[in-house]
Copies of this chain bind each other. A is one copy, B any other.
Amino acid sequence: MMKKLAMGIDIGGTNTAFGLVDEDGNVVAEGKISTEKFRYYDDYKPYINTLAEAMKEVIASQPECELIGIGVGAPNACIHTGEIETPANLWKFEDPTDPRPDSIRIFKFVEDLGKHFEGVKVMITNDANAAAIGEMVFGNARGMKDFAMITLGTGLGSGIVCNGEMVYGSDGFAGEYGHIAVASRQTGRQCGCGRKGCLEAYVSATGIKRTAFELMATMTCDSELRSIPYDKFEAKMLSDAAKKNDPIALEAFERTGRVLGEALADLTAITSPEAIILFGGLANAGDFIIKPTHRYMEENQLTVFKGKVKLLMSGIQDKNVAILGGAALIWKQYLEAVIENY
């Protein structure tokens, strides 16, 4: 029997990475193309052609294998329609004064890529959902029916699994936990989504940086962080400073953990997950962020949930989670069909 492989694709703003993934989550061959080179609206079609060619080369490198499907993780992607809808950092109009409305920027990704791979199943979902499915098929959520994945990157993404199924919602866009209110909608921090008070404005690489700068204003202590301008500041500098007991860095993690912990207690009240899995750049800060998050989550749990919910790090953090997530979309369906026909 030919070895079965699923292709996972991760569409990022800089690069599009893809790889062939076996049933155990090993990436047996991979490749990438620049997304940035194709960043404007009119570049979308050439982008698809370039991506398909590059994928075919990688597939050709594995002649003994059968491709069971192509799974894609991308921002603003909808599993129901197969489209990427008005993504913030992809395929914008080259001229910012372009009179066309932003709403026409809907890209039929599944259909367009699928034309290059006839007879092959193509699926797409947003990156956080793909990460959650990757965790369910290959990572720390294996065997779990109810869990949530929180990705802490530039923003805060989430993928929620209930009864063993991804929660996509009626329109395919569910799981936007980064955009619940954790502060007043009138006076909270501005969020990239155009509103105020969203969780992601407080808890994300950008959110903790904003907190650090707020603390430089409210606290009077010395800190090495005071020499870094906002433009040059990266969240990683906070972990480095925290290791040296920098009081502003430590307080920034404490406050970020408080907001996240309270929000995870609320998520528990809504979906009662077996575990909440953290993933991404900010999650790499380890105990600095995990410990206060866990403490505030427990402090704020409704009595019935106290001590029940595991707070875990991703089990596929070190691997290319987005490629694994895309491939897991395909593997999950494939394995379920096998079980059903057994």
**Inter-chain contact A194/B162, CB cutoff 8 Å:** no
A145 an interface residue at 8 Å Cβ cutoff? yes
List B contacts of A274 (CB < 8 A).
Answer: 170
A173 an interface residue at 8 Å Cβ cutoff? yes
**Inter-chain contact A273/B169, CB cutoff 8 Å:** yes
The SS class assigned to the A binding surface is: loop
Chain A: residues with Cβ within 8 Å of the partner, total of: 45
Q: Which of A3-11, A39-47, A224-232, A298-306 is near enough to bind chain B?
A: A298-306
**Inter-chain contact A302/B167, CB cutoff 8 Å:** no
List B contacts of A269 (CB < 8 A).
Answer: 174, 176-177, 179-180
> How many copies of this protein are present in the complex?
2
Q: Which residue of B lies closest to A300 (CB)?
A: B185
List B contacts of A181 (CB < 8 A).
Answer: 182, 262, 265-266, 300
Q: Which residue of B lies closest to A182 (CB)?
A: B181
Alpha-carbon gap, A172 to B160, bound state (A):
16
- 23 A–B pairs (Cβ distance < 8 Å), ordered by A: A146-B169, A146-B170, A162-B162, A162-B163, A162-B167, A162-B169, A163-B163, A163-B165, A163-B167, A167-B271, A169-B271, A169-B272, A170-B273, A170-B274, A171-B272, A171-B308, A173-B272, A173-B305, A174-B269, A179-B266, A179-B269, A181-B262, A185-B300
- Interface residue ranges, A against B (CB under 8 Å): 76, 85, 144-147, 160, 162-163, 165, 167-177, 179-182, 185, 193-195, 262, 265-267, 269-274, 300, 302-305, 308
